[in-house]
Amino acid sequence: MHEEDILLRSIRGIAYLAIAPCIFLSAAVWFTSDSIGIVIANLFQVYFSIFLLFLFGNIWSFKFYFKDGYESQLIKIAITPLFLTLISAILTIYINPAWGIGFLMVGVYLTRLVIFNHSIFKEFSKIYIDLFNRISIILCICLMLIFTYWLNPYTNPIATYI
């Protein structure tokens, strides 16, 4: 087995393990009572924010690995998850969680489209880009589930914040 195959399997396993709590929490909110569902939805947003901050740190550390003029691109890419996390937290605290999750959802989706304008992604093989696409699509679906939970007219969990 080649080293590239082992590295890909390792990165793929780590990535799927990192998003597994997001998948579990976004599904669990629909199968619990209303009071527990609100706690789970808030826990999802906290975990997702920690995940984005971890992503910020990892991308920031890559600027020491890529010395070929990619530092400015990596800084722009690294600041994106930090920006999403901070604005989402501000919206959640000062307005309500639906605004925070909605901002995260739109931000993650738009980041998927805009991020590939950077030339640094030409350095990665197509397999890693496909993995990034799969993970980001799964995360967008999880964010849509939580956003839908907050706006559910039958249980109306957002009423606790209004």
How far is the C-alpha of 159 from the C-alpha of 116, rounded, in Å? 39
The reported pLDDT for the residue numbered 115 is: 65
Query: Which ranges of the chain have pLDDT less than 50?
Result: none
How confident is the model at residue 111, as a pLDDT?
83
- Residue 91's pLDDT is what? 95
pLDDT on residue 73: 77
pLDDT for 3: 62
Contact (Cβ atoms closer than 8 angstroms) between residue 151 and residue 31: no
Residue with tokens 């590939």: 116
Q: What does residue 15 show for φ and ψ, rounded to 5 degrees?
A: -65, -45
Instruction: Output the pLDDT for position 100.
Output: 95
Q: Which of 19, 44, 20 is nearest to 148 (CA)?
A: 44
d(CA 120, CA 38): 40
Question: For residues 17, 19, 24 and 26, what is the CA-based torsion angle, rounded to 10 degrees?
Answer: 180
- Other C-beta atoms lying within 10 Å of the C-beta of residue 147: 22
* Residue 82 pLDDT: 93
